[in-house]
Amino acid sequence: MDMAIELENICRSFKNHFWQNKKQVLKDVSLEIYKGEIFGFLGPNGAGKTTTIKIITGLIRPDSGSIEIFGHPANALKVKKRIGFLPESPYFYEHLTGYEFLKISALLSNQKNYKSGILGLLEKVGLKHAVRLQLRKYSRGMLQRIGIAQALVAEPELLILDEPLTGLDPIGRKEIKDIILEQKAKGNTVFFSSHILPDAEAVCDRIGIIIDGQIIKVGELNKLLRKGLKTDEISLEDWFVKQIKRNE
Amino acid sequence: MNRIWAIIENTFKESLRQKILLLLVIFSILLIVVSIFLEPFALGEAPRILRDFSLAVSALFGVLVVIIIGSTLIHKDIEKRTIYTVITKPVRRSEIIIGKFLGLLLLIIILVCSMAVIQQLVIFFYEGSFDFSLLIAIPFLILEIMILLGILLLFSSFSSPALSAMMGIIFFIIGHASPDLKLFADQVKIPAMKYLAYGFYYIMPNLENFNLRIDLVHKLPLYPDQLLFSICYGLIYTIFLVYLAIIIFEKREFK
Ligand SMILES: Nc1ncnc2c1ncn2[C@@H]1O[C@H](COP(=O)(O)OP(=O)(O)OP(=O)(O)O)[C@@H](O)[C@H]1O
Ligand SMILES: [Mg+2]
C-alpha cells in the first residue's frame, strides 16, 4: 500500500530552561499512514500528539529519525502543496475578515482563481454569515471552522488536523466529521489528533495511541476494540483509560 | 510572486493598523507645522531652520516607525502563532522575510513621502514657493531605513523584540557616529583600541552617507559619484542583512 506519511524512529526532547535537563517528549515514534485512510491519533494531554504533528508539518525538527510524506522529504515545497494543516487551538490574523484570511491562504497555496472556491468553503464550514466579519470577533468554534476552511483551501490530498473537534458544539462536530468523511470519499488522506475516543470511533479506519511519547497501539479500530472487549463489556472510554493505566 | 504579494499586503495592512503609528504621524506633522512659528526667534535664519527642522523630523519619524514596528514584525507572528498557518503553506521562508521587508518598507515609503509633501506645503505657505531641491533627501532617508529594517529583521529572526529594537538603536547611533569613529581610530594610540575602533568602523553601516541634511540646508553642492556610491552601498548592505536574516530564519523552529 502507498504511504501518505511515514515516521521512522522519531525522537525529540525539549528543554524548558537551559539549566534543566532535557525532557524526552517523543521516544522512538514510528508510524505509517496509508493513502486514502482516516487515521485517528489518540492520547491523553501531554502525550506528544502536537509535537508529532509539528514534526510532520515541519514546524520543528526531530532530534533523530526520518520523516517522509508521499515518499518525499516533508519540507519540500511540492509536498507542502499537497497538505492542508489545522494547528491546535488556532490563532489567525485578527484584523482580517474571514474572506480576506482565506484569500491570503489561497494565494500562499498558489491558488489563482480562489474567489468562488472561498465562498463555497465558507458555506461548507457554516460561516457564510461571517464572510465580512473580522476574525477577532469570531467565537472559539468559528475560529476552529475557519481553520478547517484554510486547511482545505488548496484541495489537499493529505489533511492534518490537530484536535479539529475541540471547541465545537455537537452540530459543529457532526459537520467537521462529515467533512473528514467527504475527504476520504474523494480518495484523500486525513490524519487527526484527539483525546476523545468516540470521535475517532465515528470516522477512523485506523487509530494510533500515543502515551508519554511512545506509540503503544496502532491498528484497525474494531480489531483493537475486540481485544479489549473480549473479557467484559466495558465502554470505549474505559478501555482507553485501561490502556493508559497499563502503560503507567 | 502571488505568495510574496500576499505577505506584503498583509504586513502593510497589519502595520498600518498599529495605533502607535497614528500617534507618530500626528506628532511629526505637528512638529513640522509648528516650525512656522519659530520665525520671530530665528533672526533671519528662518528658512534654514525650517528646512533643517522639517528634514530632521521626517528622518526621525521614519527611523522611529521602522524600529517600533520592525522589531515586532516577526515576533508577533510567532508569539501569536499566526505563523503556523503561513509557514505550513507551500511558501519559502525567504518569501516570508522578503514579503515582510517589502510590506513595511512600502508603508514607510508612503509615509515619508507624505511627510515631504507636508514639508513642501509648509515651505510654500511660508515663502510663497516650493523648494524641490529638498526632495532628494527622500531616497537617501529610505536607504537608511532599509538598512535599519534589515538589522531589525536580522535580529528578530532569532531574538526578542526588545533586543532587536535595542540593536536597531545601537546601529542607528553608531552608524551616524561613523565619521567620528574613524577619526578616533586614526588618532588613538593604544593598538587594541585602534583595531577595535577600526573593526567597528568597517562592520557597522556608515549611515552618515545617507544624511544630506547639512548639504541641503546650506545649499552645498552634491556630488553625483558620491551619491551613486551611497546608493550602491545602501542596497548592498541591505541585501546582505536580509540574506543573513533569511539564513537564520530558515533554521528556526516554531515550538
Ligand atoms: N516547546 C516546548 N518546550 C518544552 N516542552 C514542550 C514544548 N512543547 C511540548 N512540550 C512538552 O511535550 C509534551 C508533549 O506535548 P504535546 O503538546 O505534544 O502534547 P499533546 O499530546 O498534544 O497534548 P494535548 O492533548 O494537551 O494537546 C508535554 O509534556 C509538553 O510539556
Ligand atoms: Mg496537543
DSSP B163-175: HHHHHHHHHHHHH
Whether residue A46 has its Cβ less than 6 Å from ligand 1: yes
Top residue of A92, A107, A110, A162 to mutate, by most chain B CBs within 10 Å, is A107
Task: Answer yes or no: are the C-beta atoms of B70 and A135 closer than 8 Å.
Answer: no
Ligand 1, atom nearest to A48 Cα: 18
Q: Which three cell numbers stand for residue B180?
A: 567620528
* Cα A137 from Cα A117, distance rounded (Å): 23
Q: What is the SS3 assignment for A207-223?
A: EEEEECCEEEEEEEHHH
pLDDT of residue B39: 67
- pLDDT digit string (tens) for B52-99? 888 999 999 999 999 999 999 999 999 989 999 999 999 999 999 999
Helix axes A140-152, A170-185, angle to 10 degrees: 10
Interface of A with B in 40-79 (CB under 8 A): 54, 57-61, 77-78
Q: Name the pTM for this structure.
A: 0.92
Judge whether B85 is closer than 8 Å to chain A, CB to CB. Answer: yes
Q: Which ligand is nearest to the CA of A60?
A: 1
> What pLDDT does residue A188 have?
97
Number of the ligand closest to the Cα of A162:
2
Bridge-based pairing state of the strands A214-220 and A206-211: antiparallel
Q: Show pLDDT as tens, one digit a residue, over chain A (248 residues).
A: 689 999 999 999 998 777 778 889 999 999 999 999 999 999 888 999 999 999 999 999 999 999 999 999 988 899 999 999 999 988 888 899 999 999 999 999 998 888 888 999 999 999 999 999 999 999 989 999 999 999 999 999 999 999 999 888 888 899 999 999 999 999 999 999 998 777 788 899 999 989 899 998 898 877 776 665 444 444 556 666 776 677 66
Domain extent listing, chain B = 2-164+223-251
pLDDT at B213 over 90: no
What pLDDT band is residue B43 in, cutting at 50, 70 and 90?
low
Residue A230's pLDDT is what?
A: 46
- Maximum Cα interatomic distance, chain B, rounded to a whole number of Å: 63
pLDDT in the model for residue A231: 43
Q: Does B87 touch chain A (CB under 8 A)?
A: yes
Partner A contacted by B81 (CB < 8 A): yes
What pLDDT digit, counting tens, does each position of B219-244 carry? 888 889 999 999 999 999 999 999 99
CA of A54 to the centre of ligand 2 (A): 10
C-alpha Rg value of chain A to the nearest Å: 18
Nearest chain A residue to B14, by CA: A95
Which residue from A59, A90, A107 is facing B253, i.e. has the nearest CB?
A59
What is the count of residue pairs from A and B with beta carbons less than 8 Å apart? 75
Provide the pLDDT for residue B197: 86
| Chain B: residue whose CA lies nearest to A76 | B90
Q: What secondary structure does DSSP assign to A111-151, as a single string?
A: -SS-HHHHHHHHHHTT-GGGTTSBGGG--HHHHHHHHHHHH
pLDDT at A245: 73
Provide the ipTM.
0.89
pLDDT confidence of residue B182: 86
| C-alpha A50 to ligand 1 mean position (Å) | 7
